[in-house]
Amino acid sequence: MQRTDWGNGSNRAAAIFKRNDDMLRLLPVAVVGYPQGNPALEKLAANARAKGFKVSMRDIHEEMEGLA
């Protein structure tokens, strides 16, 4: 897999979505994320589900409470 070209910032979102697609091509066992309104992560989760991967979206605040 090639490194993602972050460019000069004008194509930053496109690079993030491409990186996510690249990760799914690696056939992960599962996808875990902390969305909190992050469109790129929410799209990654939707794409992963559509391809049949197990997806777990967690609430970062609940996770942090468990560490206290």
* pLDDT tens-place string over residues 7-28: 555 566 777 788 888 888 888 8
Q: Does some domain include residue 34?
A: yes
Domain of residue 27 covers 12-67
Asked if the model's pLDDT at residue 3 lies above 80, the reply is no
User: In terms of C-beta density within 10 A (0-12 exposed, 13-18 middle, 19 or more buried), how is residue 56 classed?
Assistant: exposed
How many percent of the chain have pLDDT more than 90? 3
Average pLDDT, the chain: 76
* Nearest alpha carbon to residue 56 among 38, 68, 41: 41
Q: Which two tokens mark 10?
A: 């004008």
Inside any domain, residue 1: no
**Residue owning tokens 């560490």:** 67
Strand stretches in the chain, DSSP E: 30-33, 54-57
pTM: predicted TM-score of the whole model, two decimal places: 0.60
Q: How many domains does the chain have?
A: 1
CB atoms within 10 A of CB 11: 12
6 within some domain: no
